Structures are given as C-alpha cells and as structure tokens.
Amino acid sequence: MDTVEAATWPGDIGPVFLSEVQIQQRVQALGAQISRDYAGRDLVAVGVLKGVLFFMADLVRAMHIPVTVDFLDIARYGRTEQTRGVVRLTKDLTEPLSGRHVLFVEDVIDTGLTSHFIMGILRHHEPASLAACVLLNRPSRRIITMDLAYVGFEVPDVYLVGYGLDYRERYRNLPYIARFERPPSAATERESQEREGSN
C-alpha cells in the first residue's frame, strides 16, 4: 500500500524506507515501554517543533499513563565556519519542569549537537529525571555522544522524508518514511534533516 501511494508523489520520492505499519508498530511498542517505565510518575514529554509533531502525537496516544505535552522551538543561524552550528531558542516551554520527569522526544538525532543543546536547556529546569526518545537514530554521523533511553529505528546516512521529516518544508505529511532521491547539498542536509535545522 505504501509503495502504491508513493507513486502518486513527485519523482524525487524514492522507495519506502519504513512503511506506515512498521512505524506504527514500533511507536506502539515504545509507548507501552514508556508507560511501564513511568507508571505513577509525573511525566512531561517535550518535543522540538516542527518535525516531531507526528511522532509525538502518535507516541503520547500510545501511552497508557497520564502525560503532559510541551514544545519548544529553535532556529539555526550562521553560514561561516565560525558560526555554523549556532542555535538559539525561539519558543520556550510553557510547562514547569522542576521536580517532574521529563522525556525529550525527537524525530531524528544525527550529529547530536542540537539535541545536546536542548538537553542542556531541559536540565537547567531541574527535572526529577531526564531521558531521551528518538524515532530515527543515525549514529554514523554522531559528533557528541547521546544517551538514548528509547530508540525507534537505527538508520544509515541517507536522506529521508515523511512522517514529519521534510525537504524544504515538503513531504512531512507522508504517512510513511521514504528515501529522497534528489540529494540536497551538505549544507541543506544539515539544516533540514536533523533538528539542527528547520524541522
């Protein structure tokens, strides 16, 4: 079904990498595991706009415990070697995190640079605990070591779109994840494929 649906999209959408069924089965399993681990705790799930929206919505609905959801947003700026990789917070949290159990939910973790930055922001709020959950983990490009409590899938160094992942703000609404056949430049990839960009 996913392969047939993919044929209706432009030619730059390649083969289905993860089907809608594969994604939903894994999300359900993650939700069940998180529910067991956080039973009886005051859990806050925090995501970063906007690539994580689809994963976050499905993940919290797969949890069988009370959970509060909050979002923050960041912007990347700098095009020189000196400023590349610099990020700033553009939308802060609305929920207090002090003394609560926080789960950082991410769509893709690639180099780990921006995720490390976000984890630092969350630690500053002095939560009772802090853990990370990622749908797609790409360890081959890791620069900063990340301790990931929950991982959906490990993926190779290929450009992916769908289920929240975009190319220039397109293809987020695909219900599956597909390979993007027209490779973007390295700079564009850094900006749009990981949170360290414009997800």
Residues acting as catalytic residues: 110
DSSP-derived secondary structure letter, 39: T
What is the Cα gyration radius of the chain? 16
**E strand residue ranges, 19-58:** 43-48
The dihedral built from the CA positions of residue 30, 162, 109 and 131, taken in this order, carries a sign that is negative
- Its sign, for the CA torsion 167, 183, 181, 105, is negative
C-beta neighbour count of 187 within 10 angstroms: 11
SS (H, E, C) 7-21: CCCCCCEEEEEECHH
Identify residue 153 by its one-letter amino acid code: F
- State the pairing for strand pair 86-91/150-154: unpaired
Share in percent of the chain as helix, strand, coil (round to 5): 25, 30, 40
Q: Which two tokens stand for residue 187?
A: 């700079």
